[in-house]
Amino acid sequence: MKSNDFDRIAFAYDRLTKLVFGNAIIHSQKFFLHRIPEGSNVLILGGGTGWILTELLKIKKNVNVCYIDASKNMLAMAKEKLIPREQIQFILGTENDIPSEHKFDCIITNFYFDLFTDESLPVALNKIKQALALNAKWIATDFVEIRWWQKLMLKAMHFFFKLMSNVESQKLPEWNKALQAIGGKLVDSRNFYRGFIQTSLFQF
Ligand SMILES: C[S@@+](CC[C@H](N)C(=O)[O-])C[C@H]1O[C@@H](n2cnc3c(N)ncnc32)[C@H](O)[C@@H]1O
């Protein structure tokens, strides 16, 4: 199996995460969507089954979205949720396939950084950074590990996703630091699920 392959788990992914984290997964990812200005070009990278796109379009009718995911099954589920329209572009791919003809006013990466290591994350971030428009925002939501039970849960999740999806990373990278290292200014953040999930809004 290739690494970070979510094809096998796509059909059950949302139900599984809801079972473990309840609504925290949804609330955390929706938290900063209202801060995206109307008319923005938005890049959603590793968006999964596409519910985030439906939520975004409910509150921001006039955004253009480029939706990239590496799993064909995840992408197919995302496409099924929407009537095809010009303002949304779906791409089966990774950070290597971001269209170079656009610059993005907002980038959304949710539960995407945890697939990388402290070594591979800066490489991916520097690629994505090339696609940022001037004064762009970046919304990132992911796990943060501080307490013993969070470390334990992360270990269990990495083990599970190693088996199911051959996830490359076995340790959470320091993603807040990595985003600041490429020039992101943390302007706001909020924690969910007793501090285990953090959504952060960065300004570039
Ligand atoms: C952990 S899931 C999170 C999905 C979604 N963001 C959510 O929170 O419900 C990671 C997603 O990223 C996709 N993915 C993995 N590696 C990727 C990469 N390098 N570029 C784009 N998508 C990737 C997977 O196919 C999967 O849909």
Question: Can you give the pTM of this predicted structure?
Answer: 0.96
Band of the pLDDT at 1, cuts 50, 70, 90? confident
Residue nearest to atom 7 of ligand 1 (CA): 48
For ligand 1, the distance from its centroid to the CA atom of residue 117, given in whole angstroms, is: 15
Contact 88, 65 (CB under 8 A): yes
Residue from 1, 6, 108, 142 whose mutation best tests the ligand 1 pocket (most atoms within 8 A of CB): 6
Q: What is the mean pLDDT of residues 156-160?
A: 90
The helix (H) or strand (E) run that includes residue 158 is: helix 148-165
**CA–CA–CA angle 161, 170, 11 (5° rounding):** 15
pLDDT at position 176: 97
pLDDT at position 168: 82
pLDDT at position 127: 97
Tell me the C-alpha to C-alpha distance, in Å, between residue 157 and each of 9, 69, 83: 13, 20, 34
Share of the chain above pLDDT 90, in %: 87
For 120-151, give one letter per residue: b (16+ CB within 10 A) or e: ebbebbeebbebbeeebbbbbbbbbbeeeebe
| pLDDT tens per residue across span 85-115 | 889 999 999 999 999 998 999 999 999 999 9
Cβ–ligand 1 distance for 115 under 6 Å, the answer yes
